[in-house]
Chains A and B, each alone.
Chain A
Amino acid sequence: MGLLGIVLIVAFLVGIPIAFALGLASLSFLLKSDIPLILIVQRMYTGVDFFPLVAVPLFVFAGFLMETGGISRRIVNLALAIVGPIRGSLGMGAVISEMIFSGISGSSIADASAMGAILIPTMGKTGYAPKDSTAIVAAATGMGILVPPCMAMVVLGGMGQISIGALFAAGFLPAAVMALAICLLIFYKVTQGRLPGDRQVFSVSAAWHAFKDALIPLGMPVIIFGGILGGVTTATEAAVLAVVYGFIVAVFINKEVTYVQVGKMLVNTGVVTGVILILIATASIFSWIMANQQVPQAITRFMLNIGQPWLFLLLASVVILIGSALLDGLPAIIILYPILLPIATKLGLDPLHFTLVMVAAEGIGIILPPVGLCLIVICGVSKVSLSAVTKPLLPFVAVMFLSLLVIMYIPWITLIVPRLFGLY
C-alpha cells in the first residue's frame, strides 16, 4: 500500500493525467501482489458498463447544443428582469442567471466560461470592480453545481447506485439555500457601499420580452425536470429528450447552429465523455484495491471509535473540498467517494444526503483560491489575477461553507423534495 501511495502522489505531482496516475499507481500495487493483472481491464470495463452513466454523454451533448444556440444572453436578460428592482441587482442577477443556466448546461466549466464572458463585462459597465464581479461569478458557479442536471450527480448516482432523479430533485433546495446566502452577502456589501447599488426600474413589457426570448431555452429544464420529477422518465431518458429538443431548437428553430458545428459538438461530446469516464474506469481499479486491502473498513473502525457521524460528515466534506480544489473537482470525488460512501452508510448517514453534501463540497472546492479549476477559468475570462480575486472571494467562500454546514446538519433540506415527488 505504501508503494501505491508514493506512486500516486509522485504521478499527480509530476503532472501525469489523473486517470493514468490512478492506473499507474494501481499497476504498481498489482505487480507486487499475486493478484492477476487482468483485473485492470476487468475493473476498467465493469466500472463504466453501467446504464445510468449513459446520461453523461447525453447531458454533455444537450449542453453543447444549447450553449451554441446563443441562449446565455437571453437567460441573463431574464434574470436581470427578475431582480432588476432590487439594489445590487446585477450581482444577484449573476446568481439567478447561474441557477437557470446550470439547469441547462450541466457543466461547471461551461457555466464558468459562458456566464463569466457575459456577466463580467456587463457588471464592469455598471461600476463593479473586475475583482468583485469575478468573485461573484465564481461564487455563483460554485453554487450552480447543486442545480441539476449536474455531471457530478450523474456520476456519483451511477457509482453509488443512487437514483439520479432523486439526486437531481435533492439539489434544488440546497442550491436555493446557497444562492440565498450569496445574495444576502451581495445585498449586505451593497448597503455597506462596497458594491455598486445598481437598480433598474421594473417594466412589465421588458420582463415579458425577456421571458418570451428565454422561453425556448427554458423548455430544456422543463423537459428534464418535468419528466424526472413527474416520474415519467429516468434521468437517461430525460437526457436524450433534452438532446432531441436542443437539436431541433438549435438547428431548425433558432437556426444558429450549422451541421458542421453539430459534427464538432459530437466529437467534443465524445472527448468530454471519454475524459470523465476513463477516470471512473481507472478509479474503479484503485477503489477495488482499497476495498481489497480493507481501507474503508479501517477508516470505519476509526470513525466508529470516535462514534460521531456528524464529525465524519464534516471531515469528509473538508477532504472533498480540498481534494476538489487540488484535483479539478470531479476526479477528487470519483477517487474518494467509493471509499467514503460505505463508511457513511455504516455510520447511519443517509446515502442520498451524504452524496449531495459531497457535491456541495465539490462546488466550493472548484472555486477555492488559488487552485480551484473554475476560479482559474473565470479569472482567465476576466483577466483578473488569482491573488487580486482572493480577498473579495473569501467572504463568499465563507458564506458558502456556512450554507454547506446548514445543508450538512439539516438533512431535511436535501431529502424533502425527492420524498415529496416519491423519488426516494
Chain B
Amino acid sequence: MTGNPIRKWPSFFWEVILACFVVVLCVAVFLQVLFRYAIKASFPAIEEIVSLSFIYTIFLGAAVGMKRREHLEIDVLLKRVPDGFKTAFKLFIVAGIAVFLVFVVKEGIVFVFDSYGQTTTYLNMPISYSYAAIPGSALIMLYYLLKHALTLLFPKKEEGLLSSEDSP
C-alpha cells in the first residue's frame, strides 16, 4: 500500500468494520470461557453478542470477499474463453450473481420487517438487527458487482480488464 494509510481508510471502511466484528467475536467467546471456568458463572447476554458478531462476520466477510473477488468458483471454462468474449462472459457472471442478490435484498427487507417487535431474551435487542446483516451485505455486494461491471465495460487503459484496484 502506498501513501498515507490513514488517508486511505475510507476505501477500507468495510474491512475496518469487519475486523471490529472479528475482534468482538473473539473477545466475547474468550469472556464466555473465562467466566465459565474462572468464576463458574455464565452470562447469556454474551452469547447474544457472540451470535450477532458471528452473523455480521459471515455476511460482511462475504461482502468484502466479493470486493476482493475471493469467492470460490470453477474458472476452467472462463480461462478457455477467447479474449474477445471474456468481457461478455464476465458480465454474464456478474449478472447471474446480481439476480440472486437482488432477491436476497428484497426478501431480506421483508424478513427484517416481519421480525418487528421481537427482541432477544437478555439484551432486549431487536432481532431485526441480526437479520439485517443479510440484506445489508447483499446490498454491499451489489455495489461492488456494479463497480466491477463498470470496470469491465470501461477498462482503464493501464490496468486492463483483470485489474482489481479494490483489493487492499
Q: Is A bound to B?
A: yes
Using Cβ atoms and an 8 Å threshold, which residues of chain B touch A331?
72
Q: How far is the CB of B80 from chain A (nearest CB, A)?
A: 11
Q: Which of A254-275 contact B (CB under 8 A)?
A: 263-264, 266-267, 269-275
Q: Which of A20-28, A128-136, A196-204 contacts B (4 or more CB under 8 A)?
A: A20-28
Please tell me if the beta carbons of A38 and B72 are within 8 angstroms of each other in the complex. no
Can you list, as one digit per residue, whether each of A11-34 has a CB less than 8 Å from chain B (1) or not (0)?
111111111110110010000000
From the candidates B71, B100, B108, B111, name the one contacting A275 in the complex (CB within 8 A).
Answer: B71
B22 adjacent to chain A (CB < 8 Å):
yes
Contact count band on B: 35 or more
A389 adjacent to chain B (CB < 8 Å):
no
From the candidates B29, B47, B60, B107, name the one contacting A41 in the complex (CB within 8 A).
Answer: B107
Please tell me if the beta carbons of A327 and B74 are within 8 angstroms of each other in the complex. yes
Using Cβ atoms and an 8 Å threshold, which residues of chain A touch B134?
41, 44-45
Please tell me if the beta carbons of B59 and A278 are within 8 angstroms of each other in the complex. yes
Bound form: Cα–Cα A53–B99 in Å: 28
Q: How far is the CB of B93 from chain A (nearest CB, A)?
A: 5
Using Cβ atoms and an 8 Å threshold, which residues of chain A touch B101?
20
From the candidates A54, A272, A274, A328, name the one contacting B25 in the complex (CB within 8 A).
Answer: A54
Using Cβ atoms and an 8 Å threshold, which residues of chain A touch B21?
270
Bound form: Cα–Cα A37–B96 in Å: 17
In the complex formed, the residue of B with least CB distance to A7 is B96
B125 adjacent to chain A (CB < 8 Å):
no
In the complex formed, the residue of B with least CB distance to A15 is B78
B150 adjacent to chain A (CB < 8 Å):
no
A350 adjacent to chain B (CB < 8 Å):
no
In the complex formed, the residue of B with least CB distance to A20 is B97
Q: Which of B61-69, B116-124, B152-160 contacts A (4 or more CB under 8 A)?
A: B61-69
Using Cβ atoms and an 8 Å threshold, which residues of chain B touch A45?
55, 111, 131, 134
Assuming the contacts A57-B22, A237-B29, asked whether A275 and B73 have C-beta atoms less than 8 A apart, the reply is: no
From DSSP, what is the main secondary structure of chain B's interface residues? helix
Please tell me if the beta carbons of A270 and B97 are within 8 angstroms of each other in the complex. no
B41 adjacent to chain A (CB < 8 Å):
no
Assuming the contacts A40-B103, A274-B64, asked whether A18 and B71 have C-beta atoms less than 8 A apart, the reply is: yes
Bound form: Cα–Cα A327–B135 in Å: 27
Using Cβ atoms and an 8 Å threshold, which residues of chain A touch B15?
267
Using Cβ atoms and an 8 Å threshold, which residues of chain A touch B74?
12-13, 15, 18, 326-328
Please tell me if the beta carbons of A13 and B77 are within 8 angstroms of each other in the complex. yes
Assuming the contacts A37-B107, A49-B51, A327-B74, asked whether A61 and B97 have C-beta atoms less than 8 A apart, the reply is: no
From the candidates B59, B99, B114, B168, name the one contacting A27 in the complex (CB within 8 A).
Answer: B99
Using Cβ atoms and an 8 Å threshold, which residues of chain B touch A37?
103, 106-107
Q: How far is the CB of A183 from chain B (nearest CB, A)?
A: 32
Please tell me if the beta carbons of B26 and A281 are within 8 angstroms of each other in the complex. no
Please tell me if the beta carbons of A275 and B61 are within 8 angstroms of each other in the complex. yes
A357 adjacent to chain B (CB < 8 Å):
no
Using Cβ atoms and an 8 Å threshold, which residues of chain B touch A195?
none
Please tell me if the beta carbons of A17 and B97 are within 8 angstroms of each other in the complex. yes
Using Cβ atoms and an 8 Å threshold, which residues of chain B touch A264?
168
Q: How far is the CB of A81 from chain B (nearest CB, A)?
A: 34
Please tell me if the beta carbons of A38 and B58 are within 8 angstroms of each other in the complex. no
A68 adjacent to chain B (CB < 8 Å):
no
In the complex formed, the residue of A with least CB distance to B50 is A54
In the complex formed, the residue of B with least CB distance to A232 is B37
Please tell me if the beta carbons of A270 and B72 are within 8 angstroms of each other in the complex. no
B83 adjacent to chain A (CB < 8 Å):
no
Bound form: Cα–Cα A40–B73 in Å: 21
B143 adjacent to chain A (CB < 8 Å):
no
Q: How far is the CB of B75 from chain A (nearest CB, A)?
A: 5
Using Cβ atoms and an 8 Å threshold, which residues of chain B touch A279?
72
- Known contacts A15-B76, A269-B22; 14 further A-B pairs (Cβ under 8 A): A15-B74, A15-B93, A20-B71, A24-B100, A37-B107, A40-B104, A42-B111, A240-B26, A267-B168, A270-B18, A275-B65, A278-B59, A279-B72, A328-B74
What is the interface of chain A, defined by CB distance below 8 A to chain B? 11-21, 23-24, 27, 37-38, 40-42, 44-45, 48-49, 51, 53-54, 57-58, 61, 233, 236-237, 239-241, 243-244, 263-264, 266-267, 269-275, 277-279, 281, 326-328, 330-331, 371
